[in-house]
Amino acid sequence: MRDRLIVLIEDNADDAYLAMRVIGKVCADRVIVARDGEEASQLLKNLAADGLHSRVRLVLLDLKLPKLSGIEVLQEIRSSELLCGLPVAVLTSSDNDLDQEHCRALGVLDYIYKPMTIDRLQRVLSQDKEP
Amino acid sequence: MKPAQSQHAGAPADLTGLSLLYVEDEAEPRVMVSKMLVLNYPNLTVYSAENGAAGLAAFQEHLPDIVVTDINMPVMDGIQMSRAIKEIRPDALIIAVTAHSDTSYLLNAIQIGIHYYVLKPINYDELFSALDKVLGQLALKQLVELQNRRISESERQLALAQRIAHLGSWQCELPGGSMTWSEEMYRLLDHIQGSQAATLDRFLERVHPEDRDLLQERLAASAATRQPVVPLYCRIRRADASERILKVEATVMSTRKGAPVTLVGTALDVTELKRAEEEVRSLTGALERRVLQRTSLLQASLRELEHFSYLVSHDLRAPVARLEGFCRALVEDCGECRNDNCRTYAERAERVVRQIKSIIGAFNELSHYTRCGMVIGEVDLSALARSIGSDFQRTEPERSVRFHIADGLVVQGDQRLLRIALEHLIGNAWKFTAKKDRASIEFAAQAQEGTRVYFVRDNGAGFDMRYVDKLFKPFQTIHSPGDFTWSGTAIGLATVHSIVLRHGGTIWAEGEVDRGATFFFTLADEPEPGSYYERTH
């Protein structure tokens, strides 16, 4: 089975650490981390260019990001021919950050309140269909 | 002599205060006629004298209104006496009784001003008829004097009333502009009465130049249309440069087309009234400015508060979530660690974090109620209370609680917020009656000093009035943990307080340990839907 990838877009080091720990408990997938919106955008483009986008099992996207916002990254994903089918789950610490309707319109798989727990991630991954 | 008649046609009914002097030198007729006079005119005071000199003396003493005199008498004759009497009192009425019919006497008598003649020997009918005529004259004179006194009295009263009311009256002929002014009108216009004829020009010269045209226009329009003058205010400049404000009104007297017009009007000094109005206006302006100032101050501090609550709700949540994440990691990973304390500490720390989160949640909820918009409409509190009561009954069907809910408690307010408030109040009552066998919850209203006071009363655990001040503060509880089911963060009553305040009301409570609690609240008749918070989000 080919290596699968989880893309974690999270600017806060602690949150990134906690998320990676939970991912490590749940699966053996490789995790690629982007620290801001621009970096994420570039990373996803590179993946597409290298033909690796089909290996992405899940994108965990924090909405509050430096430079490009989470929503903007999401819009880029949905408008890209290669990336538009990626499963994206949104990470948030407060309802205030979450524009649920906007996210739903952009085809978000799920909303995860921080801290993400093992159970929660397992449930999200179980919704995900193999590409 | 003929006997006197008892009735005299035309005689005035009341002769009180009138007196008559009868002068006659012959004793017998003097006594006889005097008696007849007294008999026929009981209210008339009758004096008598035996000659002209004695008559004059009696006249000087008594000043009678009427003199009946013989002409031919010793010492001083009637003509001489009458002349002297007329000098003393020109309006004295004299009836001459004479045997003379020669013209020289008569001419003299006419010159002197003797009014009537009765020929001797006296015929009583003639005498009384002459006397009645004289008395008739006197009565008429008295009547005129009385009327004159009444007229001048009412004129005096009118002038005084006008003075007190600062109300002048006037009359004006148009075209021409000749006027008459009441005493007060002179005073209002600061003209001296009698110094010059009152005219429209003299009126206008006192009117402020800016108001003059309008006054002239209104008077002319009224004269042209024969309609009352449209009332107007004119400033009057007095000689000492002080200014008064008059309200001028008038109506048209003559309405015949083409005829000159007479305007009859008033001028009311409204200076003080206008000044008070001006003062009220400026005070209102100042008050409005202050309200604006206060509102912007209030909004500024509310903005700060909003920033603070945003900080709590938002910026604090992320680190708290992180803390929770690490606690979870500890709990999960310390399964691999040998130290039992580690796991206990991690679990406890995780609980603390959850508490912090619920406090933040409660804080947000509470601040939401103080600033959310309100939709004001008719709310049936009775129906709400019944529906809330049956909801509670459904959740715990094993409990038996008697609800007494008064009908028809309909108010103006926000349905959603009032439901939340009632849910908390009835929920409290439900919770604190849990240990009662015969629990009862009442929702009703009573009039208190003209205000409708709503209340939720239960017969449950009650509370100690010493702690009443803590009731409505958030995050405070007055029951020990474990006494009743822990219901989160103790913001229920603080929420109710906030909602009642938003509805312009107040809330208070009474209670006794084990004897139940009553929560009272009022609501404004027409609550303001707005919030001091500016809509920034």
ipTM given for this complex: 0.84
Given this model, what pLDDT does residue B1 score?
Answer: 38
Least confident stretch, A47-61, B106-120, B444-458: B106-120
How high is the pLDDT of residue A61? 95
Residues B327-335, mean pLDDT to the nearest whole number: 83
- B334 in any annotated domain: yes
Please tell me if residue A115 touches chain B, with a CB cutoff of 8 Å: yes
Q: Is residue B220 part of a domain?
A: yes
B290 lies in some domain: no
| C-alpha distance across the termini of chain B, in Å | 125
* B276 inside domain: no
Does residue B341 share a domain with residue B259?
no
Which of B324, B334, B336 should we substitute to test contact with A (largest number of A Cβ atoms within 10 Å)?
B324
Question: Quick check: B255 and B224 in contact, CB under 8 A?
Answer: no
Answer whether A94 sits within 8 Å of B322, measured CB to CB: no
Q: Are residues B335 and B251 part of one domain?
A: no
Asked if A15 lies within 8 A of B325 by C-beta distance, the reply is yes
Instruction: Looking at the structure, tell me whether residues B469 and B415 fall in a common domain.
Output: yes
Mean per-residue pLDDT of chain B? 85
Same domain? For B214 and B338 the reply is: no
Residues B180 and B125 reside in one and the same domain: no
Higher local confidence (pLDDT), B289 or B8: B289
Closest chain A residue to the Cα of B361, Cα to Cα: A94
Per residue in A101-131, pLDDT tens? 888 888 899 999 999 999 999 999 988 654 3
Is residue B251 located within the same domain as residue B115? no
Chain A / chain B CB contacts < 8 angstroms: 41
- Note which residues in 9-38 of chain A have CB less than 8 A from chain B: 12, 14-15, 18, 21, 25
Which residue did the predictor score with more confidence, B454 or B476?
B454
CB contact under 8 A, A118 and B332: yes
B314:A21 CB<8 A: no
pLDDT of B501 > 70? The answer is yes
| List of chain B residues whose C-beta atoms are within 8 Å of the C-beta of residue A97 | 314
Nearest-neighbour CA in chain B from A113: distance (Å): 9
Same-domain check for residues B487 and B400: yes
The alpha helices in B451-527, defined as continuous H runs, are: 492-502
CATH number for B455? 3.30.565.10
> In total, how many domains does chain B have?
4
pLDDT at B424: 93
On chain B, the residues whose CB falls within 8 A of the CB of A96 are: 310, 313-314
Please choose, from the candidates A78, A49, A82, the residue with its C-alpha nearest in 3D space to the C-alpha of residue A61.
A78
Structure tokens at B81: 């006496």
From chain B, the residues in CB contact with A25 under 8 A are 332
Shared domain for B354 and B386, answered yes or no, is no
Cα B216 to Cα B25, B220, B409, distances in angstroms: 76, 6, 62
In a domain, B132, yes or no: yes
CATH number at residue B226: 3.30.450.20
Domains, chain A, ranges and CATH?
5-126 (3.40.50.2300)
A113 close contact with B: CB closer than 8 A: yes
The answer to whether residues B380 and B516 belong to one domain is: yes
B524: left (phi over 0), alpha (psi -120 to 50) or beta: beta
In a domain, B421, yes or no: yes
pLDDT at B11 over 70: no
Nearest chain B residue to A21 by CA distance is B329
Residues B478, B483, B487, B492: is their CA dihedral positive or negative? negative
Q: By residue range, what is the domain housing residue B506?
A: 376-521
What would the two tokens of residue B29 be?
């007729």
Spatial CA neighbour of B429 closest among B472, B400, B460: B460
Mutate to test the interface with B, among A17, A114, A116, A122 (most CBs of B within 10 A): A114
Do B390 and B258 have their domain in common? no
Q: CB of B350 within 8 A of CB of B324? A: yes
What is the tens place of the pLDDT at every residue in A39-93?
999 999 999 999 888 999 999 999 888 888 889 999 999 999 999 999 999 998 8
Is residue B13 in a domain? no
Q: Kindly tell me if the per-residue pLDDT of B486 is higher than 80.
A: no
CB A24 within 8 A of CB A122: no
Asked whether the predicted pLDDT for residue B307 surpasses 90, the reply is no
Contact across the interface for B328 and A113, Cβ inside 8 Å: no
B interface mutation test: which of A12, A14, A26 has the most B CBs within 10 A? Answer: A14
Helices and strands in chain A: count of H runs, count of E runs: 5, 5
B244 Ramachandran zone, left/alpha/beta (phi>0; psi -120 to 50): beta
Q: Name the residue among A40, A86, A87 with its Cα closest to residue A66.
A: A40
Give mean pLDDT, residues B527-532. Answer: 72
Asked if residue B103 and residue B28 are part of one domain, the reply reads yes
B48 and B71 together in one domain: yes
Say which CATH number the domain at B90 has.
3.40.50.2300
Q: What is the mean pLDDT of residues B179-204?
A: 87
Tell me the pLDDT tens digit for each residue of B16-55. 778 999 999 888 888 988 998 888 888 889 999 998 899 9
Average pLDDT over chain A, rounded to an integer: 88
Residue B442 lies in a domain: yes
Min distance B500 CA to chain A CA atoms (Å): 27
Q: What are phi and psi of B233, to 5 degrees?
A: -105, 130
Q: What is the pLDDT of residues B239-276, one digit of tens each?
A: 888 889 999 999 988 666 667 888 899 999 999 999 99
Residue A2 has pLDDT above 80, yes or no: no
Name the pLDDT band for B315 (thresholds 50, 70, 90). Answer: confident
Q: Specify the pLDDT at position A76.
A: 93
